[in-house]
Amino acid sequence: MARELVLVMGGVRSGKSTFAQRIAEAIGGAVLFVATAEAGDREMEERIAVHRKSRPAGWDTLEEPVELAESLRPAMDRYDVVLLDCLTLWVSNLLVRNEGRPDAEARTLACLHDLLHLCEDGRATWILVSNEVGMGVVPPSPLGRTYRDTLGRVNQAIASRADRVYWLMAGLALDLKALGACPLVLPTGEGQA
């Protein structure tokens, strides 16, 4: 199978992680699961434990909340599939670390471009999981609005470069590009809304 970039999106509990894992299992070979969650409280620790148990035993795991490109670069030649779950928490982690900086979004997008170059330069198929957070209410805080806007731009940039983009809702997946969806964002990032 040729190298691909696959984006799996949807709302909370829509089935994104399970679907992404099934894609990785179908591709086969050496799989690296990249987890971006941090256990800030007991409930999050329990969620992380459930996610760990759901992964096949033969997969390798890298738990990295922020420095994705730097952490992944040395290991890329060893894997056929990289499953990153999830971009949602990664963007949150980046923004929290840069909170109060006027260039927080620009720093996050620079990290995204580093990650995309790593995806495109290697031989592995990448499966990226992300939430759609722009369909709800307007967040009441400046950080919340920056987060929503930045994640929306990250999702657009990845979708424009992805070979396949799946939208999950209630455990059902739609292959958006196979249905004729085309990006508004050019792969270079020009024209972002």
Neighbours of 183 (CB within 10 A): 17
In the set 3, 22, 51, 107, the catalytic residue is 51
State yes or no: is 51 an active-site residue: yes
User: What does residue 111 show for φ and ψ, rounded to 5 degrees?
Assistant: -65, -40
How many angstroms separate the CA atoms of 105 and 116, rounded? 16
> How is the beta sheet containing 60-63 ordered, strand by strand?
60-63, 31-35, 81-85, 125-131, 5-10, 164-169, 172-175
Q: What angle do CA 134, 136, 157 make, to 5 degrees?
A: 10
The residues annotated with a catalytic role in the active site are 51
